[in-house]
Amino acid sequence: MLRYTALFTSILAGAIVSAQQICVVPFGGYGVNDVDGLTALLPNCSSDATIVFQDGVKYNISTPVDFGTLNNVEIQVLGNLELPKSIPYVQQLVNATAGGRLYWFTMKGNNITLSGNPDQSSEYGWVDSYGIQWWQEAQYTQPLGGLANRPHGWSIAANSSTIRNVKLRKPIAWSFSLNGNDMHVYGNKIDAAYDLNNPGVFPFNTDGYDIHGDNVLFENNWVFNGDDCVAVNAGNNITIRNMVCEGGHGASLSATTGVDNVVFDNITSINSLYATRFKSSLNSVGNISNVTWQNIHVHNATFPIFATGVYYDQNTNRGRTPGVYPANSTATHIKNFSWINVTGTISDVYTGDGSCTTDPCWYYVANATNTAGITLQLLNGTATNIQIHNVNLKPIDGKGVSNVVCDPSSFTDGTGNLGFECVNGPYVST
Ligand SMILES: *[C@@H]1O[C@H](CO)[C@@H](O)[C@H](O)[C@H]1NC(C)=O
Ligand SMILES: *[C@@H]1O[C@H](CO)[C@@H](O)[C@H](O)[C@H]1NC(C)=O
Ligand SMILES: *[C@@H]1O[C@H](CO)[C@@H](O)[C@H](O)[C@H]1NC(C)=O
Ligand SMILES: *[C@@H]1O[C@H](CO)[C@@H](O)[C@H](O)[C@H]1NC(C)=O
Ligand SMILES: *[C@@H]1O[C@H](CO)[C@@H](O)[C@H](O)[C@H]1NC(C)=O
Ligand SMILES: *[C@@H]1O[C@H](CO)[C@@H](O)[C@H](O)[C@H]1NC(C)=O
Ligand SMILES: *[C@@H]1O[C@H](CO)[C@@H](O)[C@H](O)[C@H]1NC(C)=O
Ligand SMILES: *[C@@H]1O[C@H](CO)[C@@H](O)[C@H](O)[C@H]1NC(C)=O
Ligand SMILES: *[C@@H]1O[C@H](CO)[C@@H](O)[C@H](O)[C@H]1NC(C)=O
Ligand SMILES: *[C@@H]1O[C@H](CO)[C@@H](O)[C@H](O)[C@H]1NC(C)=O
Ligand SMILES: *[C@@H]1O[C@H](CO)[C@@H](O)[C@H](O)[C@H]1NC(C)=O
Ligand SMILES: *[C@@H]1O[C@H](CO)[C@@H](O)[C@H](O)[C@H]1NC(C)=O
């Protein structure tokens, strides 16, 4: 009976698989842009299909790929996708794009899976963007902060989407922009690794994931980059867990309004400017509620726990002094935010990172020291029920104490819920 059931199930499974068309992307050989072969397949492979970039092959993805509208489609990246190495060639494509925002890979639709090589240690399954030369050249090109005309990586706008086991190597800049309801993102690697001790070569704007979506689950992803590891920009019911973020600007909620019910759980932060960050910009209007960062393992972060309602973009605010807010400035109202179980070390030897190209630096905070364990830069009356408990942060060189930046006027409900003394000074739990 057991055997019969197993056989019956496998026949059913076989029937479902065979309804799915397999579309193998041909490899054209040297000198051929493999996007041509892919594009020829698409009219017949946009629904109920599996599009396969074959294992062991290095595809030449010489032009941007618009997959169009896909329904019930899995894209398997088993081989490598090689983007062009010529900076002027790519810049000219971006410059020619209306609005200047070019994604190298674009898709929309419903029930889309982007999957990588199931053998995570395989030398295949990588998307190679050759970003290092862009980061290097940026140090000689004014204005500092990254070259002009950089492409974005992937834009996926779909409900019921999955991204698993995908590996991105040396992205030029932004990696994933994700939009939609019901997203599952797991087992992916983004390698924009850079030399922490050579701040001149910095991977500007290499955001790992920018998320706009409801019912989102992220698990077991690894990112080493130079901007937000993951940035929640809009949505409700978002969980990000078991993630490793190296370098970069941490597990972020970056929005002015329209985000609720977000949990960051079990995040390991290594050598980052921020381990956890809430960021909204000055003069925003809006509300964000129910956000928790819990079980955060911090190794050498400049700002382990950080919230700002007055974020300052060095590209649009050159010459202005961060920390000087005109009278009647407004900011996003945040409610029910908590940080629970945050342990580890504060970077107090070489603070900051190579993203600082203005004077004063965009991440300068008035009254913060080089051992800023908790930094809350929140305008008068813009926060309610903020709780920060079970914090154990120490300067990495063992010298000094963890400090906090905190203004009691920030909180509409007083400082009784906070969990620590709201002063500019040493961290004292209450
Ligand atoms: C990639 O495609 C372009 C044409 O768009 C071609 O000029 C170039 O030689 C190809 N590169 C490789 C490695 O095949
Ligand atoms: C589409 O796929 C079907 C099934 O594999 C095949 O018979 C048909 O020739 C394909 N059509 C085109 C235009 O490639
Ligand atoms: C989603 O797409 C996959 C193919 O990628 C297919 O096997 C599955 O049946 C689809 N799910 C639904 C609910 O249509
Ligand atoms: C875009 O290209 C035009 C010439 O085609 C050039 O004048 C302009 O400076 C370029 N813009 C940027 C931002 O590089
Ligand atoms: C929240 O998102 C998770 C993961 O997508 C999902 O399983 C769960 O049903 C969602 N909860 C609600 C209340 O929508
Ligand atoms: C925390 O995440 C790591 C992966 O970064 C994982 O290995 C570990 O099992 C997770 N811990 C818990 C308690 O889930
Ligand atoms: C801490 O981070 C800084 C800045 O990223 C880096 O220069 C330094 O090597 C790191 N220290 C350790 C002990 O990893
Ligand atoms: C925040 O959480 C509380 C308690 O779980 C819930 O009642 C409230 O609806 C949530 N707020 C939003 C905007 O979802
Ligand atoms: C700030 O707002 C108050 C009350 O609306 C107003 O009287 C005052 O002129 C404003 N100040 C500035 C600098 O706009
Ligand atoms: C905080 O850590 C304690 C001890 O490890 C654990 O029991 C508790 O569940 C953690 N809290 C959260 C919200 O994960
Ligand atoms: C710095 O701290 C002092 C004393 O706590 C306070 O008066 C001042 O407003 C703070 N500066 C800023 C920009 O927050
Ligand atoms: C904060 O705002 C309240 C109400 O608008 C006002 O009464 C108070 O003086 C302000 N406090 C500070 C420190 O600006």
pLDDT 10s digits, 96-146? 999 999 999 999 999 999 999 999 899 999 999 999 999 999 999 999 999
Cα 149 to averaged position of ligand 9 atoms, centre (Å): 41
Helix, strand or coil for residue 230? strand
What pLDDT does residue 216 have? 98
User: Can you give the C-alpha Rg of the chain in angstroms?
Assistant: 23
Ligand 7: atom nearest CA of 247 is 5
Of 34, 207, 228, 249, catalytic: 249
What is the per-residue DSSP string for 166-207?
-EEES-SS--EEEEEEEEEEES-EEE----TT-TTS--TT--
Q: Is the pLDDT of residue 275 over 90?
A: yes
Tell me the pLDDT of the chain averaged across its residues. 93
Considering every ligand atom shown, identify the ligand nearest to the alpha carbon of residue 274 and give its number. Answer: 7
What pLDDT does residue 327 have? 77
Among 16-30, 210-224, 327-341, the range scoring the smallest mean pLDDT is 16-30
For residues 298-316, give the mean pLDDT.
87
What pLDDT does residue 266 have? 99
What pLDDT does residue 316 have? 62
What pLDDT does residue 7 have? 39
What pLDDT does residue 11 have? 42
Residue closest by Cα to atom 4 of ligand 2: 21
Q: Is 227 one of the catalytic residues?
A: yes
3-state secondary structure string, 33-55? CCHHHHHHHHHHCCEEEEEEECC
Of 34, 207, 210, 227, catalytic: 227
Considering every ligand atom shown, identify the ligand nearest to the alpha carbon of residue 50 and give its number. Answer: 3
- Choice from 196, 201, 202 to test ligand 7 binding pocket (greatest atom count within 8 A of CB): 196
What pLDDT does residue 311 have? 84
* Domains of the chain, residue spans: 86-109+125-426
Sequence-distant contacts of 241-245: CB under 8 A, at least 24 apart: 241/265, 241/266, 241/267, 242/266, 243/218, 243/219, 243/267, 243/268, 244/268, 244/270, 245/208, 245/269, 245/270, 245/272, 245/275
What pLDDT does residue 346 have? 98
Which band of pLDDT confidence, cut at 50, 70 and 90, is reported for residue 320? low
What pLDDT does residue 415 have? 98
Q: Which amino acid is at 180?
A: G
CA quadruple 117, 227, 352, 395: dihedral positive or negative?
negative
Burial (CB count <10 Å: 0-12, 13-18, 19+), residue 219: middle
Structure token pair of residue 82: 């090689």
Could you tell me the pTM of the whole model? 0.93
Q: How many helices (H) and strands (E) does the chain have?
A: 4, 25
The Cα–Cα gap between 243 and 251 comes to 9
Structure token pair of residue 146: 């990254």
Which band of pLDDT confidence, cut at 50, 70 and 90, is reported for residue 321? low
| β-strand pairing of 80-82 with 58-60 | parallel
Cα 125 to averaged position of ligand 2 atoms, centre (Å): 27
* Residue 151 DSSP label: P
Which of 282-286, 316-320, 390-394 has the highest average model confidence (pLDDT)? 390-394
Cα 275 to averaged position of ligand 7 atoms, centre (Å): 14
Q: Output the CA torsion 300→302→304→309 (10° steps).
A: -160
Q: What is the pLDDT of residues 169-219, one digit of tens each?
A: 999 999 999 999 999 999 999 999 999 999 999 999 999 999 999 999 999
**Residues of the chain with pLDDT > 70: what percent?**
93
Q: Is the pLDDT of residue 1 over 50?
A: no
What pLDDT does residue 210 have? 98
Residue closest by Cα to atom 2 of ligand 7: 271
Fold of 86-109+125-426: Pectate Lyase C-like (2.160.20)
The Cα–Cα gap between 315 and 290 comes to 31
Q: Is 359 one of the catalytic residues?
A: no
Q: What is the pLDDT of residues 337-394, one digit of tens each?
A: 999 999 999 999 999 999 999 888 889 998 999 999 999 999 999 999 999 999 999 9
- Choice from 253, 259, 288, 289 to test ligand 8 binding pocket (greatest atom count within 8 A of CB): 289
- Choice from 239, 290, 294 to test ligand 10 binding pocket (greatest atom count within 8 A of CB): 294
Ligand 12: atom nearest CA of 409 is 13
Cα 341 to averaged position of ligand 8 atoms, centre (Å): 22
Contact 417, 388 (CB under 8 A): no
Cα 31 to averaged position of ligand 1 atoms, centre (Å): 4
What is the per-residue DSSP string for 309-359?
EEE--TTTSTTPPTT---TT----EEEEEEEEEEEEEE--SS-S-TT--SS
| β-strand pairing of 425-426 with 403-405 | antiparallel
Contact 151, 104 (CB under 8 A): yes
Contact 229, 204 (CB under 8 A): no
**Residues of the chain with pLDDT > 90: what percent?**
88
Helix, strand or coil for residue 221? coil
What pLDDT does residue 329 have? 86
What pLDDT does residue 16 have? 45
What pLDDT does residue 360 have? 82
Ligand 5: atom nearest CA of 184 is 5
For residues 313-329, give the mean pLDDT.
67
Angle value at C-alpha 368, between 362 and 373, nearest 5 degrees? 105
Q: Which residues contact 325 (CB under 8 A, 6 or more apart)?
A: 282, 310, 379
Structure token pair of residue 143: 């204005």
Residue closest by Cα to atom 4 of ligand 9: 328
What pLDDT does residue 326 have? 78
Cα 408 to averaged position of ligand 11 atoms, centre (Å): 11
What pLDDT does residue 282 have? 86
